[in-house]
Amino acid sequence: MNAEQQSPADARRERGTYYATTPIFYVNAAPHIGHAYTTILVDVVTRFHRLKGDDTFFLTGTDEHVEKVAKAAARAGVTPQTYTDQVAAQFRSTWDAMGIAYDEFIRTTEGRHQQVVREVLQKVYDNGDIFYGEYSGLYCVGAERFVTEKELVDGTCPDSDEPPEYRTEANYFFRMEKYRPWLREHIERNPDFIRPERYRNEVLAMLREPIGDLSISRPRARVPWGIPLPWDEEHVTYVWFDALINYWSALLSRDLEQRYWPAVNHFIAKDIVKPHGVFWPTMLKAAGIPVYKHLNVHGYWLQDERKMSKSLGNVVGPLELQAKYGRDAFRYFLLRDMSFGLDAGFNEPAIAERINADLANALGNLLNRTLGMLGKYRDGVVPAFGPLEHADLALKDAFMALPDALTDHVDQLRFERAVEDVMTAVRAANKYIAEQQPWTLAKDPTQATRLDTVLRTCLEALRCASVLLEPVMPEKCRALRVQLGLPDAAASLGDARRWDAIPVGTQASAGEPLFPRIDLAALHEELAAGDASAAPLEHKDEVEYDAFAALELRVALVTHAEPHPKADKLLVLTVQLGPESRTIVAGIRAHYAPDELINKRVVIVANLKPARLRGVTSQGMLLAAEDADGHLALVSVEREMPAGSEVR
Ligand code: MSP
């Protein structure tokens, strides 16, 4: 068949090549949920491509030549190599315990990687794109890069939240600025080079102004831990120049670059957009290596609205969660509850609620009811279809549309939609049972064929769902098919395009419940018990009622909000109190964006003596709750009350 005769669906079904990577993680901390998310995501995506029949390669690994490692190793009294061996092994064993099917695990301390780094450096040096010079600036050890004054947020690095230090060093520099026009044009011409669009725009904004040249070495005397430059052994390679090359060295060292490069999809979170969106493509260009295909950027998992990270100490162990909720159910939650590109909130009740709603109620119910009825009415033996009626065909059509829909969703990074589309079809199957009432059909012997058809329809629906969800829940989906009487084997996407794949006469039998419900009340109790260790409250002295009654508290409607021109912690609000309008200055800029406040009804102290705050007079004060970590939430009233209403 020539290309012109191919339908788009046929073209999609062609065997493609797919190479996907996670960041290689720093070895100064144990793997946490943030690392686990990207790794699970890439595992799901590569499993989906394998399901489709694509030639797939999945790379992960560890980034080991960081200054922090040298320091941590010194503190632990071991050599950096011993230290990183331990942490790298911990990453590897965590991924193994989580069933991550990576094809290669690369470590930047391996000889095969170091050799490629030196070759790439030499090539760029020989091309005249590396020079020796002096540089002074703000260096962030957390992010391992120089940051500009402009990038700082409240004096700290935007990537790591750590304050940078001032450094002057004689280093080698990569002529990155030279490649800026090329990169800008490349991104403009290839709208899906960096996805989603918000991150593409972020990088384009960086490229509108000079990006400068990139310092790519450190004096060996200061950082003995690193790859020496091939032409000057007194300097070691800068960590990003070393680390980014892993994506290439892992293939090259196995002679796989012809097969998988440049069909590469890098997956990262938004913390490392600049190195991947600016340093990496310009490095590739200078080294004469074709630039990667897609940079896919996801948001953060937040706990209590803050990025989960080791340094913030709010880390939940992925192995703990997997043990508690089950490996597949935990993966399902992560895929379903993050909208790619945006931040998502993380908490255990949300995991439990998602599992109960989608896995126990929707999918688990469909399985239990279908196998229960098949056992009761047909001794567990899979029947043939009778003539299909409208309702049967509607459900079949809904399932048959899924393989192409999911392929598009995965291509376009809409993972939560992919999962949700399958669940929508599963819910439709539950509704189909409720409407067809097999229990009524079972009472009427003339309806035997009709009952066969209804049962068979549900069985095929379950089988198709198990194929489509297999990348997300590999173990559960295979176990589900085993309960249907099918072999314990991996599926292919083609299996989900069939509606007649279970041989008539197959013996099915319900086994262990696959998707048990989580007892939410018990979970809440357990979590509350965990919080009980919190410090006791410190109360203020008691006051007479009059002291309280002297305060005039009122509901106020926010009509305008803007940053205070002279203070970066303050916002200037205009609020409406009945007919009266007032200006209030509030120290909530770190917690609320001005736009989010418009039309909020807040509670203010209306008879506080006016005060001038950095040149603006505040006619009252907002009330807000503050937790032990300093997070704020504005006080409002539970129902919509007219602005000006008194709060007593
Ligand atoms: N070593 C560099 C990457 C070099 S790649 C050539 C690095 N390592 S890291 O250990 O800090 O990992 C950062 C990555 O971990 C993020 O890009 C993301 O994949 C993952 N995450 C870390 N915390 C996260 C969240 N709170 N939420 C989502 N992903 C998170 O940077």
Q: What phi, psi does 560 have (nearest 5°)?
A: -155, 145
Residue 302: strand pairing partners: 307, 345
With a CB cutoff of 8 Å and minimum separation 6, the contacts of 109 are: 64, 65, 81, 84
Rounded to whole angstroms, the Cα distance separating 564 from 586 reads 9
CA 570, chain centre distance (Å): 32
Q: What phi, psi does 135 have (nearest 5°)?
A: -140, 135
Among 63, 157, 311, 346, the mutation site with the greatest number of ligand 1 atoms within 8 A of its Cβ is 63
Tokens of 425: 């079809």
Q: What phi, psi does 381 have (nearest 5°)?
A: -95, 130
Radius of gyration (C-alpha) of the chain in whole angstroms: 29
Rounded to whole angstroms, the Cα distance separating 366 from 459 reads 9
- Report the chain (648 residues): mean pLDDT per 10 consecutive residues: 47 77 91 94 98 97 87 85 92 95 97 97 97 89 84 88 87 96 98 97 96 91 88 93 97 97 96 97 98 98 72 68 94 97 92 97 97 98 98 98 98 97 98 98 98 98 98 98 97 97 96 92 85 61 83 92 88 90 91 87 92 88 82 85 89
Q: Ligand 1 centroid vs 152 CA: distance in angstroms?
A: 19
Tokens of 314: 């709010």
pLDDT number for residue 1: 35
For residue 262, the one-letter residue type is: P
**β strands within 183-231, DSSP E:** 194-195, 214-215, 217-219, 228-229
Contact call for residues 378 and 455 (beta carbons, < 8 A): yes
Tokens of 222: 């200061």
Rounded to whole angstroms, the Cα distance separating 175 from 124 reads 10
Residue 600: CB atoms within 10 Å? 15
With a CB cutoff of 8 Å and minimum separation 6, the contacts of 500 are: 385, 460
For residue 440, the one-letter residue type is: T
Tokens of 140: 């962030």
Position in ligand 1 atom list of the atom nearest CA 299: 28
- Cβ of 25 closer than 6 Å to ligand 1, yes or no, is yes
With a CB cutoff of 8 Å and minimum separation 6, the contacts of 123 are: 287, 288
For atom 30 of ligand 1, the residue with the nearest CA is: 34
- Cβ of 63 closer than 6 Å to ligand 1, yes or no, is yes
Q: Ligand 1 centroid vs 300 CA: distance in angstroms?
A: 9
Rounded to whole angstroms, the Cα distance separating 350 from 356 reads 10
Alpha-carbon distances, residue 525 vs 357, 519, 532, 579, 618 (angstroms): 20, 10, 11, 47, 43
Q: Which helix (H) or strand (E) segment is 646 a member of?
A: strand 646-647
Among 21, 26, 42, 45, the mutation site with the greatest number of ligand 1 atoms within 8 A of its Cβ is 26
For residue 170, the one-letter residue type is: A
Q: Ligand 1 centroid vs 309 CA: distance in angstroms?
A: 9
pLDDT number for residue 515: 94
Tokens of 527: 């979590």
Q: Ligand 1 centroid vs 87 CA: distance in angstroms?
A: 15
For atom 22 of ligand 1, the residue with the nearest CA is: 34
- Cβ of 309 closer than 6 Å to ligand 1, yes or no, is yes
Q: Ligand 1 centroid vs 280 CA: distance in angstroms?
A: 16
With a CB cutoff of 8 Å and minimum separation 6, the contacts of 492 are: 51, 52, 53, 467
Q: Ligand 1 centroid vs 326 CA: distance in angstroms?
A: 24
Rounded to whole angstroms, the Cα distance separating 66 from 240 reads 9
Region class of 372: left (phi > 0), else alpha (psi between -120 and 50), else beta: alpha
For atom 24 of ligand 1, the residue with the nearest CA is: 34
Helices (H), 225-380: 239-244, 246-252, 257-260, 273-274, 280-287, 318-325, 327-337, 348-354, 365-378
- Evaluate the omega torsion of the peptide bond into residue 383 and state whether it is cis, within 30 degrees of 0: no
CA 51, chain centre distance (Å): 22
User: 86-122 burial, b for 16+ CB within 10 Å, e for fewer?
Assistant: ebbeebbebbeebebebbbbbbbbbeebbebbbebbe
**Closest to 157 in 3D by CA, of 169, 143, 168:** 143
Position in ligand 1 atom list of the atom nearest CA 308: 26
For atom 27 of ligand 1, the residue with the nearest CA is: 300
Contact call for residues 481 and 466 (beta carbons, < 8 A): yes
Rounded to a whole number of angstroms, the distance between the first and last alpha carbons of the chain is: 79
For atom 6 of ligand 1, the residue with the nearest CA is: 244
CA 87, chain centre distance (Å): 23
Tokens of 79: 């050599």
Q: State pTM to two decimals.
A: 0.80
Helices (H), 98-177: 111-126
Contact call for residues 310 and 50 (beta carbons, < 8 A): no
**Closest to 40 in 3D by CA, of 88, 91, 98:** 98
Rounded to whole angstroms, the Cα distance separating 538 from 291 reads 59
Contact call for residues 607 and 646 (beta carbons, < 8 A): no
